[in-house]
Amino acid sequence: MKKTVLSSIVVYIVFSVVFCLYIFNWADTTIPSGYEGSASDPATFMNEKELLISEEFSKIKNALYFLSTPYEWLLLFILLSVGLSKKFQDWAKGTVRFRPLQVFIYLFWITLFTTVLSFPFKLFGYNVSKDYGISVQPFNGWMKDYMLDFWINYFLTGLIVLVLYGLMRKSPKRWWLYGWLLSIPFTLFLTFIQPVFIDPLYNDFYPLKDKELEEKILSVADKAGIPAEHVYEVNMSEKTKAMNAYVTGIGDNSRIVLWDTTLNKLEDDEVLFIMAHEMGHYVKKHVFFGVVSYTLVSLVGFYLIHKLMNIIIRRHGHRFNIHDPKEVATIPLFFLLLSVLSFLFAPISNTVSRAHELQADTYAVELTKNPEAAVGSFQQLTKSNLSEVNPPFIVKLFRYTHPPMVERIHYLDSYELRESEK
């Protein structure tokens, strides 16, 4: 196992070097010749310094993502391979007799292990955002959010693990099916409570303060058939200079949310387009579709994890000193398989998401009839967020839930031409 661990570390280092070369030297991010000089060409709305900073920032963030994800896999593999997972399990059993507490004690130690060793990546990402003027959040505020993430994820993960491993003990062959069935109401529950109870733990949410703008939004919302109470403003200017807007929740808990930075930097017509875009998600039920599709995909995921865990423990369990998938010590293996499968599925889910975003763009420009405001809003978003206008293919495949800005701006810029040709 020592040789296997060393080999894994060497593979990770080689991968990191090759991928950094791809991101920083080999990948082509130039604007297609047909777009040069158009509204989608960043050279037409960004100066030379902004272009350079945007390119540098995007490359660093992309490299950080693709290096941190396999690094987390490596940590989980090390937990299994060197016997730490088994030792944490024995330690928890020796501490208390009550099994649920054993699970939470064990989970605390492996969560602490992975969190501490992953912290340099998180800290580097925070510092990069600060250095490039995206984040304005003080370090103590960032650490507060980081610790809040730790405890929320820890307790939610503990509940999930407790239920799943309880099902494994009672039904080794069918636990994956029962776990999937239970995940449906749990997913719906989280989707309902997130916008109301979890999101406000991080930021302040309140109705729009600008009443004149509110009246304009109410008019657009009325055309879309959306109740006005689904529009919220969130105080993000104390943390970031970036802009954003999103739709979250389902049913009566659905919320269309605008960052105050978006309100501060965009003209009213541009804000109305952004709002119309988010209304498009609401009208076309993209959040609901996302929950349903996630539920169906998770069924396949549960089944694959069940099969793969059995195969791995049967063939290699003796190397980990683990002989039964039902042992709590297999949790790192469960998380590892879940993360790898999620990563491999990302290109498919991102493709669907990009299609939804294009539908929302189309809905918004047809609702507002103002392609100039649409183009202007995306140009300003690109500048404020230091977005990469035309990302490398692999980055787009695995990271981009939205179409690249070069595509979105070009689509909106040519809207009037397409309409006139109909």
Q: What are the pLDDT digits (tens) for 146-157?
A: 999 999 999 999
Predicted confidence at residue 254, as pLDDT, reads: 65
In a domain, 21, yes or no: yes
In a domain, 373, yes or no: yes
Secondary structure (DSSP) of 21-72: HIIIII---PPPGGGTTSTT-GGGTS-HHHHHHHHHHHHHHHHHHHHHHHHH
Q: Kindly name the residue from 72, 212, 214, 278 that is annotated as catalytic.
A: 278
In a domain, 214, yes or no: no
Q: What are the pLDDT digits (tens) for 90-119?
A: 999 999 999 999 999 999 999 999 999 999
Predicted confidence at residue 225, as pLDDT, reads: 77
- Report the predicted TM-score, pTM, of the whole model to 2 decimal places: 0.91
Residues of the chain with pLDDT under 70: 227-230, 249-254, 416-422
Predicted confidence at residue 209, as pLDDT, reads: 86
- Is 278 among the residues known to form the active site? yes
In a domain, 233, yes or no: no
In a domain, 69, yes or no: yes
Predicted confidence at residue 155, as pLDDT, reads: 95
In a domain, 266, yes or no: no
Which structural domain range is residue 141 located in? Answer: 2-203+285-421
Contact 322, 86 (CB under 8 A): yes
Contact 242, 385 (CB under 8 A): yes
In a domain, 222, yes or no: no
Q: Which among 248, 245, 223, 222 is positioned nearest to 234, based on CA atoms?
A: 245
In a domain, 325, yes or no: yes
Query: How far is 325 from 310, CA to CA, in rounded Å?
Result: 6
Contact 270, 376 (CB under 8 A): yes
- Give me the number of domains the chain comprises: 1
Predicted confidence at residue 230, as pLDDT, reads: 64
